[in-house]
Every structure is written in structure tokens, then in C-alpha cells.
Amino acid sequence: MSHTDETFEGQTALVTGAAGAIGRAVAETFAIMGARVVLADRDEQGLRAAVDKLRTDGLDATACAFDQSNPESIDHLFTDGVGDRLDICVANAGYGRVAGILDQDLAGWRRHVDINLTGTFLVVQAAARRMVAGGGGAIVLNSSSAAIHSTPMFGAYAATKAGVEMLARCMADELGPSGIRVNTVCPGVVETGMTGGLLNHADGRMRQIMVDHTPTGRIGEPQQIAHVITFLASGAADYVTGTALLVDGGQTLRGFPRWHAPSRNSANGSNTWQLITEESR
């Protein structure tokens, strides 16, 4: 059976960050393929809109608002939202902000760690415990090409996403004997709310720079990431675990994504960083 022929009938899938572009596409794809989907996000309005759309289409979807930076909220997600049975977990929720290494404050660093690393760990740990009790399952963590490719001015984001990747490898090793597969997807630049402001900078010149440095000649779409995630969760990938799958249109082959470039400060001779759209003027 091919991936496109497969269904997830009778299975429960949890998707965090489900009010965002990628999470919403993932949840919709699982629901169309027959899964009961629990959508989780801290954006209650966006979450409700996503669930209402799926239900209008006759699909099985449930909303559960939660804050991934709050361990008690994560407990609530699993006790009241997920319940005892879980077959698939997509740990998609994340956080990213621009800051140079020398300027990154402790509060901002901790927020990246709390959401991207600690929060992700608590989500997948709770998911794995249910899967062990249920005889197995599949977990997919959403990382980033920044986890494997230096992205200046995104140090906190990149470091925590790299941590997510190693977490997935350790989980795959430990949990394989329990019938649980754990993989990571590493998107490059994709059309989302997080990237929209940067892509549209300087009247769209940033977007063109990214396209020019992407071998496939286009920016990624959320649905493309969703297809990869559902594949990794499917029986078609039942011999795949501990893998980090780069989905970036080849951007890293050309040293991208890279939003900033160094600029010499004429006053003191030091380097500062500016958006590459400024460099290309």
C-alpha cells in the first residue's frame, strides 16, 4: 500500500501548534485521511476556526487550548483533550524571535528553551507514555533547517531546534523496542505567519532573494510539510525512525536560509548584522 492510499481510520492524532499554517495543514491532512485529530494551540480563536472548518467538512476534530511553556497546561491537554488513547503525535508548536548572540537577553533565551525544548519534551514524553501503554505509535517533531545550518541572528531558535533533533534521536533509540517510531522534519523557508514579515520585507525583495537561492525555485508551502509528516507517521515509513528529514527545496545547498549578513561598522571597526536586503541595495 502506498502512502497516498493509506488511511488513519481508527487512529487518534495530536497536532500541537495547530492554529498556525503548518499545524493547520497537518491536522487537515490527518483528518482527511480518517484520523480523529486533537488540535492544540494557545491561539484559541485561530484554534476554534481551524476546528470549525474541519467539522464543517464532516471531519473528526477536537480543539484543546494549551500553553506549551506551562507544564500544567500540557498535563491538561493530555488528561482532558487527548485522553488515554494516542497513536500519532506531531509536536509542531514552536517559537522564534530575532536577536544577536551579544544582544540576546536571558528572558528571551529562556522563552525559546521553555517552548521549543522543554515544552516539546513534555509533550512528546506524555505522548510516548500513552503509546507504550497502547502498544506503539509514531511521533514526529517539527524542527528546522536552522538546526543543522547556521542562521545568524536566530541563535536561540537554532540552538533549541537542534536540541529537538537530538531529543528525537534519543527517543527513537529508547522507544523503538516499545513499537514507537520517532522522526523529525526540518523545514526550510515556508510560507507561514512566522516568515511572512521577513519574506515581504523591502517590497518583496527578500522573497526574491530566497527564491533565487532555492534550487527548486520557490518558497515552501505548509501542505508540502504536511505531506512529509503524514508519510513519517504512516505505515509506509514503518522502517524509518531516528531520521531528520530536510524539506527545504535545496536551500541549505546554497547556504540558505540566511536572512542577515555582516556589515563593518566604520566607527569602531566591529561587525554588525543587517538584513540581506539592505546589503543588496
pLDDT at 257 (0 to 100):
87
Residue closest to 122 by CA, chosen among 156, 81, 146, 89: 89
Q: Where are the beta strands (DSSP E) in the chain?
A: 12-16, 36-41, 61-65, 88-91, 137-142, 180-187, 244-247, 260-264, 271-275
pLDDT at 3: 55
pLDDT digits (tens, 9 = 90+) for 118-132: 999 999 999 999 999
**Residue 245: is it exposed, middle or buried by C-beta count within 10 angstroms (0-12/13-18/19+)?**
middle
pTM: 0.93
Quick: pLDDT tens for 243-269: 999 999 999 999 888 889 888 664 555
Residue 281: band (very low, low, confident or very high) from pLDDT cuts 50, 70, 90: very low
Question: By CB neighbour count within 10 A (0-12 exposed, 13-18 middle, 19+ buried), where does 250 fall?
Answer: middle
Q: Give, rounded to a whole angstrom, the gap between the first and last alpha carbons of the chain.
A: 52
Tell me the mean pLDDT in the region 44-72: 97
Is 239 one of the catalytic residues?
A: no
C-alpha dihedral sign at 257, 253, 93, 44: positive
Mean pLDDT of 125-147: 98
Residues whose CB falls within 8 Å of the CB of residue 72, separated by 6 or more in sequence, listed in order? none
Among the listed residues 157, 231, 256, 259, the single catalytic one is 157
